[in-house]
Structure 1
Amino acid sequence: MKYSANSVWENSDSYDVAVIGAGHAGCEAALAAARLGLRTIIFTVSMDSVALMPCNPNIGGSSKGHLVREIDALGGEMGKVIDQAFIQSKMLNKSKGPAVHSLRAQADKDKYSRIMRETLENQENLDIKQTEIVNILTEDGRVTGVENFSGMIFPCKAVILCTGTYLKARCIYGEVSANTGPNGLQAANHLTDCLKNLGIRMYRFKTGTPARIDKRTVDFSKMEEQFGDERIVPFSFTTDPEDVQIDQVSCWLTYTTKETHQIIRDNLDRSPLFSGAIEGTGPRYCPSIEDKVVKFADKERHQVFIEPEGLHTNEMYIGGMSSSLPEDVQYAMYRSVPGLENVKIVRNAYAIEYDCIDARQLLPSLEFREISGLFSGGQFNGSSGYEEAAAQGLIAGINAARKLQGKEPVILDRSEAYIGVLIDDLVTKESKEPYRMMTSRAEYRLLLRQDNADQRLTKIGYEIGLIPEERYQRLLKKEELIEKEIIRLKSATVGTSEKVQNLLVSRNSTPLSSGSTLAELIRRPEISYKELETIDEGRPEMPEDLKNEVIEQIDISIKYEGYISRQKRQVEQFKKLEKKKIPEDIDYDKVKSLRIEAVQKLKEYRPVSIGQASRISGVSPADISVLLVYLGGK
């Protein structure tokens, strides 16, 4: 059969779910949908961009480590992959309380991407296609398919947009401006027009990355060596801790100098960030070195981390010095840093602009309010970071699948997960800059620790269908052991025997004047469960694969019991407002005593609950009281 040059060929293969973009969000979205039994296809402008790390070579970090563990607890992939691809690992903030402990791992970037790509390629129900999607097809407000650059149509029932930083991407340094995606990969230049035609509001955001340098030209003797943890904790709850006890690669710490800052100040007129050549808004919490020097003019130096990009490359990443300055200025600037005096640049630093959306157009399920079957996740939603992207992609993939299965969406609230905080912030608050997850954004962070992500979310992952039976039963056994042992510790007593007093003195703890329960001893900051071994004759035997996890939860539960109980009471009040649903057909103009601004904001955002309404800027506590009275009288 002959086809004319103007004909549009409809692919004979139809899909349930189409994912556009194969970055960290797209990978999680596609895997989730496919694993839930939906026939899925994932599109990428380049197979070389699958799970690419175009910026920092690490996974996790403060609050981001929480997200990775939550992704894993729900059945996602990021934690498993980084456990196989890391080259250094650290638990951050160990000197502080458990609420802010957070894993961070340096990655072998090529290995991470390769493992994730192999996972996609071998996933049942999942096809991968290198092509640029230029059009979302809809009919009567519902998604019906996608069209690529050559005019081929792929029929589908749901689409997940995970375009990252590729939409109309432009990389800039100095006077150089190239219409490419990250690392010189092809940009996606045509989809934006389709989205705007669908009525979707767009933003123009910016991010940036430092130069990559040749390891052979670095003088490490002038830097401080940064080691990984002696005992490594894996990200995934399914990873055997013994499998990640590897020989680690060092990172290095150095600092900018007064000379560095002067070079930058002398060349600000050549920086596109300050000349007006960059239109997009950049991330406040990950500023360029130009921004740091201007905004923190009183600081004589800034930290600079020299981090390996992998085991089989000499490229190193200059953490803390992202820039869009011209190439000659970059050389002068970097060479003014101790240890980099003779450095050679492999890849120039650059800023990148890209199109993204106003995420307030999304429901908490990450489906567009006005277009049935169209979902969105990742940096395209106005966030930043690999971990934030992966978390959104996972939820978007789950909910796209559940929509097609006729099931209710999975919506995690702010008291259940950092993922809940992340998505709630994106869909209810205006983001005028790329959104970054931080522990300070989580009101209930003592409950949302990285160590208990499995207890919070694995049951949900099991109910969804992403957690296998064996893993679920392991969790139930762990919870049973924790509960039984805490009950025993609260009733088991010790007296003032010589053995007990010697233990306390050896730990610089006040000796007992009368009997005490073991739980009361554990509440002391200097005493832990393991340290009671010599005086606790009733300690039960525990399975080796659960022992350390159980002990960690016992220590935290007992030491922070009062604070945890207080936060649980706060959550109960929070959930009352979350459960108070607002009817979809409510007419806010008829709600007497609502302020004009509140009416405008409520009509614009259409919150699904009183709790969500209370977090919308411009809606006051008095407005919420009015709404509660109105709904109570309906």
Structure 2
Amino acid sequence: MKYEIIIIGGGHAGIEASNFLIRKKVNFLLITENINNIGKMSCNPSIGGIGKSHIVKEIDSMGGVMGFYADVSGINFKNLNTSKGLAVQSTRIQTDKNVYSYFCKKLFIEKKINLLEAEVKNLIIKENKIKGIIIKGGKKIFCDIVILTTGTFMNSKIYRGEKYLNIDSEGNKSKFSISEQLKYYIKIKKFKTGTPPRLMKESIEYKKLKIQNSDFPIPFFSLRKEKKEYKKYYRKVFISKCFSTKTNFYTNNLVFKNIKKSSMYSGIIKSKGPRYCPSLEDKIYKFSSKLVNIFLERESLYTNYIYPTGLSNSFPKKIQKKIIRSIKGLENVKILNYGYAIEYDYLDPKYLKISLESKIIKDLFIAGQINGTTGYEEAAAQGLIAGINSYNKIMNLKPIILKKKSSYIGILLNDITSKKIIEPYRMFTSRSENRLYNREDNSIIRIYKYNINYYNNREIFKIKNFLKKIKKLIFFLKNKYLFFLKKREIYLSVRDKYIGYMFLKKIGIKVKYIKILLGKIIYKQYIKIEKNRNKKTKKIFKKRINISNINFYKIKSLSKEVIYNIKINKPKYIEDLRKITGINLYNIFEIVKFINENKSIK
């Protein structure tokens, strides 16, 4: 039998691609080595975070399932950055990883999707065009398009101390064949990441720890919770407490003394890891005088595994045990699984079109961490876009291209396909040139127009009604409460203790509309200023300004990340800055401003 599309991998990218193809009734096959691992969270059991939650909201606005499944499997819900403006506020949901995976598997079982439990040995490529795949045992399966979403499982090695194993994070043998085949077409590089040990819940002394409660009202990702569909999936929301502790100077000293026994610092691993999710060794080696915060989160309500965020390391087991038991509250803890570092192959995404189709191999789409990104959210976004564009290709439609000026998914795709990736790519709000407009609260307004052809009539009707309601409320507020809206209090944060939030609630506006209304009121004039600044900055690229002699440390408005990226890439002219990951128009505007203020610099 020939399929229209074959998806290799049942992780977060594979799930979003599959969900879209299910909606469009495409004849496709999902291949995974273990059906039980569909939707599995192999690392942190959480969805969202700074910048990442904006992506989840955009996925939801395009009909994706990540936000919805996070809502219905959540056990701890947090609003982040609430002391700052709406543009950078984010949602984070700690999920029950077993329940999340259950809902992902349920998607395939209910829709009776073609599932195959097998190992893919090779792709069938003829004249640089995909024809199908070969599974273990030699069987050939033919198709028009392949979506490759193998994550960190290609040619992976797990490290603890000086020892390493050629296995993946699930304990299976590493897969070399696809990696070996593709290296003749696409440049293959290596990245590393890591995971902390897992601790036994009953062996922790909770009285010594600080409680981290969930936020109320509960912040959800998805707008779908109001549909009948939600009732079918709904389970009672069980709120689980999280706990926090810290390393101490004895712990830090233990890490420092044994640093050379770590895989990361012994020289065994030479590849780069994510700077924004550093290992315990990195944190203490670089900031030895600072104590490291550790958050203890339950992986599931149905297991006794605790995930200690902040303890990712690659020490030998004996040293890990000493380090962990030196921490307050963990003196007698039982370690169920030890932490490790993992090194894996990724495909250079510069060999991809922005549609995520390979520039070299026709009809091959590649999505997820295999493209050098990090995190479930970035992977899911790529999977959704690969699913949409593979369908468009079958239907002879143009690929969907999200603009970076109005979406974080657009920024993600633009960055990885056009800029040099020197470390696992992670999304932040600082990557957006229009972050006052690209907010979490208005994702449905920004995104739904891109995907209008893929919604059913009922969904389009609901979205249009929602948008009409927003317009009516703004008109109502402008006419009846114009004086109050001009007051400074409305510009404050949206939490209950602030006047703006309470005022809108008091006059009868539902909570789900409040953030989006405040965003529109607060940022309207500032969005115009931001757009004008970006236009002025773009004009500068016509001038050939040499920046090789500038001391960027003197520009106080530049973050350490921006300066680091400039230092690594060594741009000669101002236009070269646009090709560097993590540098946006605002950063370039500040550099030009510095040049103009220091006339001695030419």
Normalising to structure 1: TM-score of the pair? 0.81
Partner letter of residue 200 of structure 2?
D
| Alignment equivalent of 2:500, drawn from 528, 532, 536 | 528
| Alignment equivalent of 1:354, drawn from 309, 323, 344 | 344
Identity %: 36
Q: Structure 1 residues 548 and 244, CA, compared in 2 at 3 Å: closer, same or farther? A: farther
The reply on whether 1:249 has 2:244 as its aligned counterpart is no
Cα distance, 1:270 vs. partner? 1.4
Partner letter of residue 309 of structure 2?
G
CA contact (8 A) 1:357 1:382 kept: yes
Q: Alignment partner of 2:579: what SS?
A: coil
The reply on whether 1:133 has 2:105 as its aligned counterpart is no
CA contact (8 A) 1:455 1:475 kept: no
| Alignment equivalent of 1:40, drawn from 11, 15, 28 | 28
- Per-residue Cα deviation, 1:313-366 (whole angstroms, up to 9, x for no partner): 111011011011000000000001100000110011011111111111111101
Q: Alignment partner of 1:560: what SS?
A: helix
Partner letter of residue 210 of structure 1?
P
Cα distance, 1:111 vs. partner? 1.2
Q: Alignment partner of 2:307: what SS?
A: strand
Distance in 1 between residues matched to 2:491 and 2:256, nearest whole Å:
52
Q: Alignment partner of 2:170: what SS?
A: helix
The reply on whether 1:553 has 2:496 as its aligned counterpart is no
- Per-residue Cα deviation, 1:568-620 (whole angstroms, up to 9, x for no partner): 5567789999xxxxxxxxxxxxxxx999xxxxxxxxxxxxxxxx998325999
2:272 corresponds in structure 1 to 281
CA contact (8 A) 1:27 1:120 kept: no
CA contact (8 A) 2:192 2:344 kept: yes
1:302 corresponds in structure 2 to 292
CA contact (8 A) 2:200 2:336 kept: yes
Cα distance, 1:263 vs. partner? 1.2
| Aligned counterparts, 1:563-582, within 5 A | 563-569=526-532
Deviates more, 1:152-161 or 1:238-247: 238-247
The reply on whether 1:20 has 2:8 as its aligned counterpart is yes
CA contact (8 A) 1:447 1:567 kept: no
Q: Alignment partner of 2:70: what SS?
A: helix
2:554 corresponds in structure 1 to none
The reply on whether 1:117 has 2:108 as its aligned counterpart is no
Cα distance, 1:481 vs. partner? 2.2
Cα distance, 1:562 vs. partner? 1.3
The reply on whether 1:485 has 2:473 as its aligned counterpart is yes
| Alignment equivalent of 2:175, drawn from 188, 192, 195 | 188
Partner letter of residue 187 of structure 1?
S
1:342 corresponds in structure 2 to 332
| Alignment equivalent of 1:474, drawn from 447, 459, 462 | 462
Distance in 2 between residues matched to 1:613 and 1:457, nearest whole Å:
30
The reply on whether 1:85 has 2:48 as its aligned counterpart is no
| Alignment equivalent of 2:201, drawn from 196, 203, 215 | 215
Normalising to structure 2: TM-score of the pair? 0.85
CA contact (8 A) 1:402 1:409 kept: yes
| Alignment equivalent of 1:59, drawn from 47, 50, 57 | 47
CA contact (8 A) 2:442 2:516 kept: yes
Partner letter of residue 223 of structure 1?
L
2:550 corresponds in structure 1 to none
| Alignment equivalent of 2:129, drawn from 113, 121, 142 | 142
Distance in 2 between residues matched to 1:161 and 1:275, nearest whole Å:
33
Q: Alignment partner of 1:155: what SS?
A: strand
Distance in 2 between residues matched to 1:529 and 1:218, nearest whole Å:
39
- Per-residue Cα deviation, 1:371-407 (whole angstroms, up to 9, x for no partner): 1111111100000001111111111111111111101
2:393 corresponds in structure 1 to 403
Task: Provide structure 2 residue ranges, at least 5 long, that are not aligned to the other structure.
Answer: 493-497, 547-574, 586-602
Distance in 1 between residues matched to 2:577 and 2:398, nearest whole Å:
23
Q: Alignment partner of 1:143: what SS?
A: strand
Q: Structure 1 residues 529 and 344, CA, compared in 2 at 3 Å: closer, same or farther? A: closer
Task: Provide structure 1 residue ranges, at least 5 long, that are not aligned to the other structure.
Answer: 1-12, 494-515, 578-592, 596-611, 622-634
The reply on whether 1:203 has 2:155 as its aligned counterpart is no
Distance in 2 between residues matched to 1:212 and 1:529, nearest whole Å:
40
| Alignment equivalent of 2:157, drawn from 170, 192, 204 | 170
Deviates more, 1:22-31 or 1:274-283: 274-283
Distance in 1 between residues matched to 2:34 and 2:376, nearest whole Å:
18
Cα distance, 1:252 vs. partner? 0.6
4+ residue segments displaced more than 6 Å: 241-245, 571-577, 618-621
Cα distance, 1:49 vs. partner? 2.1
The reply on whether 1:458 has 2:430 as its aligned counterpart is no
CA contact (8 A) 2:441 2:519 kept: no
1:517 corresponds in structure 2 to 483
Cα distance, 1:408 vs. partner? 0.5
Distance in 1 between residues matched to 2:163 and 2:109, nearest whole Å:
37
Distance in 2 between residues matched to 1:594 and 1:145, nearest whole Å:
50
Distance in 2 between residues matched to 1:15 and 1:176, nearest whole Å:
43
Distance in 2 between residues matched to 1:262 and 1:594, nearest whole Å:
48
Partner letter of residue 549 of structure 1?
K
Partner letter of residue 222 of structure 1?
K
Q: Alignment partner of 1:431: what SS?
A: coil
Distance in 1 between residues matched to 2:478 and 2:53, nearest whole Å:
32
Q: Alignment partner of 1:225: what SS?
A: strand
Cα distance, 1:167 vs. partner? 0.5
Q: Alignment partner of 1:129: what SS?
A: strand
Distance in 2 between residues matched to 1:576 and 1:410, nearest whole Å:
28
Distance in 2 between residues matched to 1:66 and 1:594, nearest whole Å:
35
Distance in 1 between residues matched to 2:361 and 2:21, nearest whole Å:
19
Cα distance, 1:523 vs. partner? 4.3
Q: Structure 1 residues 215 and 573, CA, compared in 2 at 3 Å: closer, same or farther? A: same
- Per-residue Cα deviation, 1:18-62 (whole angstroms, up to 9, x for no partner): 111111111111222332232111111222321111111111111
Q: Alignment partner of 1:263: what SS?
A: helix
Q: Alignment partner of 2:435: what SS?
A: coil
The reply on whether 1:76 has 2:56 as its aligned counterpart is no
Partner letter of residue 315 of structure 1?
Y
The reply on whether 1:238 has 2:204 as its aligned counterpart is no
CA contact (8 A) 2:402 2:450 kept: no
Cα distance, 1:75 vs. partner? 0.8
2:261 corresponds in structure 1 to 270
CA contact (8 A) 2:17 2:383 kept: yes
Cα distance, 1:548 vs. partner? 2.7
- Per-residue Cα deviation, 1:295-330 (whole angstroms, up to 9, x for no partner): 11232x110111101101111011011011000000
The reply on whether 1:444 has 2:434 as its aligned counterpart is yes
CA contact (8 A) 1:163 1:380 kept: yes
| Aligned counterparts, 1:498-513, within 5 A | none
Distance in 2 between residues matched to 1:283 and 1:441, nearest whole Å:
16
Distance in 1 between residues matched to 2:156 and 2:436, nearest whole Å:
39
Q: Structure 1 residues 410 and 620, CA, compared in 2 at 3 Å: closer, same or farther? A: closer
Q: Alignment partner of 2:342: what SS?
A: strand
Cα distance, 1:524 vs. partner? 5.3
Q: Alignment partner of 1:451: what SS?
A: coil
